[in-house]
Amino acid sequence: MPPLRTALLQSSGRPGSVDENIKVLDEAAGRAAEAGARLLVCPELFLTGYAVGDAVPTLAEPADGPGARAVAELCARHGIAVLYGYPERAGELIFNAAQLIGPDGTALANYRKTHLFGSFEQKWFTPGEQAVVQADLDGVRIGVLICYDVEFPENVRAHALAGTGLLLVPTAQMHPFQFVAESVVPVRAFESQMYVAYVNRTGPEGEFEFVGLSCLAGPDGTVRTRAGRGEELVIGEVDPAFLGASRAANPYLKDRRPGLYGSLA
């Protein structure tokens, strides 16, 4: 099985303008597809912007709303899958969500952030209740978490036990927590034996300063590709053969003793 070439779009887009963010995404998808990528991962709440405050309810839309249809169209046109973050409206509730659209424009997975960070998110969003959301792309089992979720090792381990080989983590990682991008994410990849694509916003936005440093970490804990602090499109490869060999050599998952961990639940 050939590697899955994966592109990471480190960008804050144009906060408050879905139309402009679709344009940014369309251009990035074209560049990624030309470079041979089959998957493009965008940051948390990329469709609308993160620090949009009172505009959240106005910008929120259903999982099959106009933003989703626009992303599906560009996926099919460029022949590339896209994971993008957006505020999802479901009746009276709003979720911090991320949706994966396949290279033919088909919706493959929709995940709602389960661990909300800080007063801003807790004011506007309802926490999701489904810990593991997955889809398959080119023979790779893909899972989705969002930002703060990955900082809980239980979340990542749940994905490992469910067979996730590539964990996509759109994020809005802000100063002074850059150690998460630098250190925590590679450790998560190693301890749960998977690839982790951690894709951040960048620069000032409202009261926040996003730190960039998006990365694709491998199951051996090494970073395959890393962005800097500015807007950037970086590409790395997810190798199923290497993942299988790493899991065979690393004893973490098979040496677990679940009977001792009941108190964690």
**Catalytic residue positions, numbered:** 44, 113, 147
Q: In what order do the strands lie in the sheet with 4-10?
A: 107-112, 93-101, 81-90, 39-41, 4-10, 232-238
According to DSSP, the residues that pair with 112 across neighbouring strands are 97
Structural contact between residues 1 and 240, judged by C-beta atoms closer than 8 angstroms: yes
Strand, coil or helix: 180: helix
Running DSSP on this structure, what letter comes out for residue 128? P
Structural contact between residues 88 and 112, judged by C-beta atoms closer than 8 angstroms: yes
Q: Taking Cα atoms as reference points, which of 171, 213, 217 lies closest to residue 194?
A: 217
Rg of the chain on CA atoms, in Å: 17
- What distances in angstroms separate CA 102 from CA 10, 13, 21, 71, 142, one per listed residue? 20, 22, 19, 10, 12
**Could you give the CA distance from residue 80 to residue 42 in angstroms, rounded to a whole number?**
13
